[in-house]
């Protein structure tokens, strides 16, 4: 199947990849058709014809970033046994996603969640849905790990996922602000205390 081509000869994939990279650093609100047209050396009318509106561009960009997250974080963990092994692999894949600088602004979802948490509308709704998908995947495996006796008795799956998120969010924030890769070592050490190795 041939990739769809946008006006100006660029593929939709190439346009959305660049849009996601820009939005990770500058925000979805900063991602305008004019800004992207300048970046790609395309006409504004060509991009407008392709996406219809700024909101259409934002939603398509979010969808692209979600697809990248699925490929880089969710899919690599699919081969691990459901429960503790998969939970550990999901978190590790996420840290590697950050370490590889998949997006120049760090975790795309964290960036747009902070940007749209207080702004109602279709873009916020899409961000909420993406966040729920990730959280649900973590909680499902945490709950399974508890039911399988892979975690200490009395472990609260919701609390566990909250604490894992705190460590990974902190690693993302410190790395983006300071460029200090040691933050990933600190995050892994903290995570190892929550997710013990199976004997």
Which pLDDT band, with edges at 50, 70 and 90, does 11 fall under? confident
Query: Mean pLDDT, to the nearest integer, of 165-176?
Result: 97
Question: What is the residue extent of each domain of the chain?
Answer: 62-194
Q: Which residues pair with 11 in a beta bridge?
A: 5
Name the token pair of 43.
Answer: 């006409």
Which pLDDT band, with edges at 50, 70 and 90, does 3 fall under? very low
The CA distance from 70 to 134, in Å, is: 9
Which pLDDT band, with edges at 50, 70 and 90, does 10 fall under? low
The CA distance from 18 to 150, in Å, is: 42
- Decide if 170 contacts 187 (C-beta within 8 A): yes
Query: Mean pLDDT, to the nearest integer, of 74-84?
Result: 97
Query: Mean pLDDT, to the nearest integer, of 34-52?
Result: 87
Q: Considering only 43-47, 83-87, 166-170, which range has the smallest mean pLDDT?
A: 43-47
The CA distance from 2 to 133, in Å, is: 30
Domain 62-194 has CATH 3.60.20.10: no
Torsion of CA 143, 82, 97, 161, to 10 degrees: 10
pLDDT digits (tens, 9 = 90+) for 184-198: 999 999 999 999 876
Q: What is the pLDDT of residue 120?
A: 95
């Amino acid at each position: 199947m041939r990739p769809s081509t946008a006006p100006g000869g660029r593929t939709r994939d190439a346009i959305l990849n660049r849009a996601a990279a820009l939005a990770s650093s500058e925000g979805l609100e900063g991602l305008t058709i004019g800004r992207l047209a300048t970046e790609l050396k395309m006409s504004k009318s060509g991009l407008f014809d392709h996406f219809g509106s700024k909101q259409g561009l934002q939603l398509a960009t979010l969808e692209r970033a979600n697809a990248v997250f699925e490929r880089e974080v969710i899919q690599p963990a699919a081969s691990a046994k459901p429960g503790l092994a998969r939970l550990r692999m999901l978190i590790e894949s996420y840290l590697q996603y950050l370490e590889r600088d998949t997006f120049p602004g760090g975790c795309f979802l964290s960036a747009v969640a902070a940007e749209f948490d207080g702004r109602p509308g279709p873009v916020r709704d899409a961000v909420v849905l993406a966040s729920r998908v990730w959280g649900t995947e973590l909680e499902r495996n945490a709950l399974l790990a508890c039911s399988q006796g892979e975690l200490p008795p009395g472990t609260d799956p919701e609390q566990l996922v909250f604490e894992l998120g705190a460590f990974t969010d902190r690693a993302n924030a410190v790395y983006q602000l300071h460029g200090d890769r040691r933050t990933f070592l600190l995050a892994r050490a903290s995570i190892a205390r929550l997710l013990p190795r199976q004997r």
